[in-house]
Amino acid sequence: MRRNLIYAILLVTFAILTYLFAPQPQPASACACCVDAGTWEQYSQDVGDYELKTFNELQFAPQAELYMTPAGASLIEGLGKPSPPYTISRSTNGKKWNFQFTDDQGRTGNLSFSYPQTVTHFRSSLGSQLEGQVDLYKEYRAEGKVSGNGIFAPGITDNTRFKLILQSTGNKCMSSEQFDSWRLNVSGSEAEYAFYGNLN
């Protein structure tokens, strides 16, 4: 009887020691797409196949707004006589993008460029953490030389450049569904104007 009691005590002691010194399971690593509160990032990165595919999938709403300050059209250069609102359509062929604009008078013009090898990423968390969910405001900024014709011809020179800013909210991962707006700046020695609009 006593031997059985000692044996039982040894078994319990062994079980306790095994539990205490055995490797404990580690908490699961944070999900790859989750956002930490207070996130702020800005960096440049090459455009991979997935990113280019995502950008090419974006659907631009047909109306584009011409950006104007309270000074009106007096600060706009290279656009002839501005006549908003504008409608747009975008076509792509790999890295080649073309935007066709039509003004309120029915006049048209094209802005064309090649999507660059590198884009700038900007990310900033929105507000404070709520129920474990943090959202990001994100921008993907592409820059390079732009060509144009029609209503844009007066401002196009060898040094005319574009900056396309694609805006989205959501988590750290990229998907076409998260993009909601865009802005296109055109600047140079003879040009200074910007358009903006929504993404469907």
CA dist list (Å): 82 to 11, 42, 65, 173 = 88, 34, 11, 38
Q: Which two tokens stand for residue 137?
A: 């405001």
Q: Are 135 and 126 in contact (CB under 8 A)?
A: yes
Residue 96 has pLDDT above 60, yes or no: yes
The region of weakest confidence among 80-89, 109-118, 120-129, 179-188 is: 120-129
Residue 53 has pLDDT above 80, yes or no: yes
Q: Which of the listed ranges 20-29, 31-40, 107-116 does the model predict with the highest average pLDDT?
A: 107-116
pLDDT of residue 130: 56
Residue 161 has pLDDT above 80, yes or no: yes
Residue 86 has pLDDT above 90, yes or no: yes
3-state secondary structure of 50: helix
Distance CA 153, CA 191 (A): 10
Query: Which of 155, 76, 63, 154 shows the shortest CA–CA distance to 104?
Result: 63
Query: Which of 143, 121, 140, 129 shows the shortest CA–CA distance to 179?
Result: 140
